[in-house]
Amino acid sequence: MRLDRRPSLMVPNSYMNYSEPTKLAVLACPGGERFADEVIVHLKRQYRRRFEKKAAVLAKRYAETKETVVRKLNFSNDLASSVNSLPGDVNAFRMPKFKIPARFTWFPNGEIKTEILESIRGRNVYIFQDVENHLPVSFNEGKNQKVLSVNDHLMTLFVAVDAVKQAGAASVTLVIPVYPYSRQHKKKGREGLTASRIGKMLEAMGVDRIITLDIHSREIENAFNFMKLENLHASYQIIRKLSEIVDIHSPDFTVVSPDTGAVDRNKFYATSLKKPLALLYKERDYSRVTQNALDNNIAQVKLLGTVEGKTVFMADDMLGTGGTLLKAMQFLKEQGAKEVICAISLPFFSGDAIEHFEEAYRRGLFKRIIGTNAVRHEELLKREWYVSVNVTGLFAQTISRLHHGRSLSSILDNRAIIEKLLAQK
Residue 359 has pLDDT above 60, yes or no: yes
- The band of 299, judged by pLDDT with boundaries at 50, 70 and 90, is low
- The band of 370, judged by pLDDT with boundaries at 50, 70 and 90, is very high
Domains of the chain (ranges, CATH numbers): 1-232+391-412 (3.40.50.2020), 235-389 (3.40.50.2020)
pLDDT digits (tens, 9 = 90+) for 216-255: 877 788 888 899 999 999 999 999 999 999 999 999 999 9
Q: What share of the chain is helix, strand, coil (3-state, %, to 5)?
A: 40, 20, 40
pLDDT at 284: 60
Question: HSE on the CB side for 42, CA within 13 Å?
Answer: 16
Residue 15 has pLDDT above 50, yes or no: no
- Listed in sequence order, the residues at least 6 apart from 212 whose beta carbon sits closer than 8 Å to its beta carbon are 175, 176, 177, 178, 179, 229, 230, 231, 232
Higher pLDDT, 379 or 85: 379
pLDDT at 290: 57
- Contact of 59 with 69, CB cutoff 8 Å: yes
Residue 14 has pLDDT above 50, yes or no: no
CA distances from 344 to 75, 143, 320 (A): 47, 35, 10
Residue 416 has pLDDT above 80, yes or no: yes
- The band of 297, judged by pLDDT with boundaries at 50, 70 and 90, is low
pLDDT at 294: 56
pLDDT at 253: 96
Residue 176 has pLDDT above 60, yes or no: yes
Q: What is the DSSP letter of 118?
A: S
- The band of 412, judged by pLDDT with boundaries at 50, 70 and 90, is confident
3-state secondary structure 354-376: HHHHHHHHHCCCCCEEEEECCCC
Distance separating alpha carbons of residues 289 and 229, to the nearest angstrom = 31
Residue 292 has pLDDT above 90, yes or no: no
pLDDT at 289: 55
- Listed in sequence order, the residues at least 6 apart from 17 whose beta carbon sits closer than 8 Å to its beta carbon are 11, 73, 76, 77, 80
* Sign of the alpha-carbon dihedral angle for 149, 155, 161, 163: negative
pLDDT at 298: 61
pLDDT at 302: 85
- The band of 285, judged by pLDDT with boundaries at 50, 70 and 90, is low
Q: CB burial class (10 A; 0-12, 13-18, 19+) of residue 81? A: middle
- The band of 7, judged by pLDDT with boundaries at 50, 70 and 90, is very low
Residue 11 has pLDDT above 80, yes or no: no
Q: Would you call 303 helix, strand, or coil by DSSP?
A: strand
pLDDT digits (tens, 9 = 90+) for 82-132: 777 778 899 999 988 899 999 999 999 999 999 999 999 999 999 999 999
Higher pLDDT, 154 or 294: 154
Distance separating alpha carbons of residues 347 and 420, to the nearest angstrom = 27
Distance separating alpha carbons of residues 30 and 327, to the nearest angstrom = 36
pLDDT digits (tens, 9 = 90+) for 259-283: 888 899 999 999 999 999 999 987 7
Distance separating alpha carbons of residues 229 and 375, to the nearest angstrom = 19
Higher pLDDT, 129 or 413: 129
- The band of 293, judged by pLDDT with boundaries at 50, 70 and 90, is low
Distance separating alpha carbons of residues 11 and 9, to the nearest angstrom = 7
For the chain, percent of residues with pLDDT exceeding 90: 69
Dihedral of the alpha carbons of 392, 172, 168, 122, in degrees to the nearest 10: 70
Higher pLDDT, 13 or 361: 361
pLDDT at 362: 96
- The band of 372, judged by pLDDT with boundaries at 50, 70 and 90, is very high
- Indicate the average pLDDT of the chain: 89
Question: HSE on the CB side for 313, CA within 13 Å?
Answer: 31
pLDDT digits (tens, 9 = 90+) for 308-326: 999 999 999 999 999 889 9
Helix axes 235-245, 415-424, angle to 10 degrees: 20
Question: Dihedrals φ, ψ of 33, to 5°?
Answer: -65, -45
Q: 173 in the Ramachandran plot: left (φ > 0), alpha (ψ -120 to 50) or beta?
A: beta
- The band of 187, judged by pLDDT with boundaries at 50, 70 and 90, is confident
Residue 344 has pLDDT above 70, yes or no: yes
DSSP 249-269: T-TTEEEEESSGGGHHHHHHH
Residues across the chain:
425
Task: With CA atoms as reference, report the closest residue to 322 among 294, 302, 299, 345.
Answer: 294
pLDDT at 210: 96
- Give the range among 16-20, 57-61, 96-100, 286-290 with minimum mean pLDDT: 286-290
pLDDT at 236: 94
pLDDT at 1: 40
Task: With CA atoms as reference, report the closest residue to 326 among 280, 261, 373.
Answer: 280
